[in-house]
Amino acid sequence: MKSAARTIIIISGLMVTVGVTMLGAEPAGLRKRVAVFDFEDKTDHRLHWWRGDQNVGQGMADMLTTALVKMNKYTVIERTQLEKIMKEQAMGASGAITEQSAAKIGKLLGVEVAVFGAVTEFGYSKEKKNIRAPVPTPFGRRSGGLKIGKQTARVGIDVRFVNTTTGEIIAAENVAKEESKGDVGVSVGGRGFENQTKFDESMVGKATRQAIDEIVKVIDVQMQKVPWRGRVVKVTGSTVIINAGTARGVKIGDELVVYSKGEELIDPETGLSLGNEESEIGKIKVESDIAGGKAAKCSVISGSPGTDGDIVRYAQ
């Protein structure tokens, strides 16, 4: 997998952020934000026995969201927030999520990375072979045989990861997992034995869990390539309130750079976003937590405090 590149162009004091690369200047412990969209279900299955009546794509998105929350490393957008924005923007009902729509919604939610994709495989396949042989019974030897077979559960997911700042797909993976087991049984007069288990204990459940765990690992790598960012919420004199506090890993005493977000740059050939012009206008220092760590109060070190909606980042 090739890493995306970060290119910075200086034009009359403006910084144009076109892409991102592995970051080294950010302090450890920052919690970046991620949104997981429902995966498109291309299998036409439903999970009747697990978490209600969901299609497979919804169920897997829920599993991925839960796994990310349990990591306690990222801020994961709740489904209700995601659905609210999609409804307001009239998105989702018209078709599958694209990188453009994922990036747009991700920007509105303030997330750094949006995850979407499709479930391409979900189910079982069986291979059976009957071997005819006399089988001893209490009533003497009767015609019967051995059933020798193999059952395989396979799960496949195409998943993409979008940098919401640039609208760029920073990674795309096809994750496929399978679980198999042999089955040897004795049949007499056509009778057999079947075992039904709960989803998490089933082979397809185990294959799904392996696929989700692999996607989580990919997200963990890709998140390191995208810079953390926050926003100015309110400016009163020399006091700046930003939408990130200790709940997102920001520490009292940290110094941040304020950028004024300029015009979006659109590639004339592809129509895709290349990022925005960003002009560095000032520096601020985190003084105290507010709103239970969801926001912070900062003082101005130098330059302008910015205005509502301006971007804040750690110095690179």
181 pLDDT above the threshold of 70: yes
- So what's the pLDDT on residue 270? 75
Q: What are phi and psi of 290, to 5 degrees?
A: -140, 165
Determine, yes or no, domain membership for 51: yes
Mean pLDDT computed over 65-78: 94
136 and 249 share one domain: no
Dihedral angle computed from the Cα positions of residues 19, 76, 115 and 7, in that order, rounded to the nearest 10 degrees: 0
198 and 254 share one domain: no
**3-class DSSP state of 65:** helix
Q: Domain tally for the chain? A: 2
169 pLDDT above the threshold of 60: yes
Find where tokens 């391409």 sit. 120
Range of the domain at 288: 230-313
- So what's the pLDDT on residue 151? 82
Residue 211 tokens read as 């696929």
Query: How many Å apart are CA 274 and CA 253, to the nearest integer?
Result: 33
Q: How confident is the model at residue 19 (pLDDT cuts 50, 70, 90)?
A: very low
CATH number, position 309: 2.40.10.410
DSSP state of 246: G
CATH number, position 92: 3.40.50.10610
Query: How many Å apart are CA 153 and CA 204, to the nearest integer?
Result: 5
Model confidence pLDDT, tens digit, residues 112-123: 999 999 999 988
Query: How many Å apart are CA 308 and CA 231, to the nearest integer?
Result: 8
Model confidence pLDDT, tens digit, residues 217-276: 999 999 998 999 999 999 999 999 999 999 999 999 999 999 998 787 788 887 766 767
Residue scoring higher pLDDT (199 or 183)? 199
Contact between residue 231 and residue 312 where contact means Cβ atoms under 8 Å apart: yes
- So what's the pLDDT on residue 94? 52
Residue scoring higher pLDDT (52 or 248)? 248
Beta-carbon contacts of residue 159 (< 8 Å; ≥ 6 apart) = 39, 115, 116, 117, 172, 173, 174, 175, 215, 218
43 and 73 share one domain: yes
Contact between residue 224 and residue 28 where contact means Cβ atoms under 8 Å apart: no
Instruction: Please say which residue of 175, 208, 223 terminates a domain.
Output: 223
39 and 97 share one domain: yes
44 and 193 share one domain: yes
Instruction: Please say which residue of 223, 245, 274 terminates a domain.
Output: 223
Whole-number average pLDDT of the chain: 79
- pTM (2 d.p.): 0.75
149 and 184 share one domain: yes
